[in-house]
Amino acid sequence: MAKEPASPDSRTPSPPFGYSRTCPYDRDKQVEIVAEFHAHRIRPARIAYRVGIDIAFIEALIAGEEEPERFPALVAHYRRQRYRDRLRASEAQRGTARYERQQRAAREFEEETGL
């Protein structure tokens, strides 16, 4: 019996579009991770690629179809945290650069939260 020739390409097959690994986190942790990434303006496809969370689940969370009360509250929490971190980071600067960085952080926070 003739043996099939080995494939010249020894690489593993590509994962499906949007995924780089399987997700090791439970559903609650996935919601928290997506909220944090979304608050930092990371695109859904990138979240799925980096963490391995199902992209359909990510898009459903963002659209409000899944966890409609909890997810927006988590996003708001992470946006406030990001704003505080950006203000704290601006303290390393002095003068006009510090003022401009604080103003930019405040303006972006207001745009994101709709205040």
What one-character-per-residue DSSP string does 31-50 give? Answer: HHHHHHHHHTT--HHHHHHH
Given a cut of 70, whether residue 85 has pLDDT beyond it is yes
Q: Is residue 8 a part of any domain in this protein?
A: no
- The pLDDT, as a whole number, for residue 13 is 52
Domain that holds residue 102: 27-113
| In a domain? residue 100 | yes
Read off φ and ψ for residue 24, nearest 5 degrees.
-90, 0
- Neighbouring residues of 36: CB distance < 8 A, sequence distance ≥ 6: 74, 78
Domain count, the chain: 1
Task: Tell whether 18 is covered by a domain.
Answer: no
pTM across the whole model: 0.69
Beta-carbon contacts of 61 under 8 Å, excluding residues fewer than 6 positions away, are 31, 34, 35, 38, 67, 71
Domain assignment of residue 88, yes or no: yes
On whether residue 59 sits in a domain, the answer given is yes
Is residue 32, in this structure, part of any structural domain at all?
yes
- Asked whether residue 5 is domain-assigned, the answer is no
Contact 53, 34 (CB under 8 A): yes
- Residue 3 domain-assigned? no
Q: What is the pLDDT of residues 98-112, one digit of tens each?
A: 888 888 888 888 888
Per-residue pLDDT at 83:
87
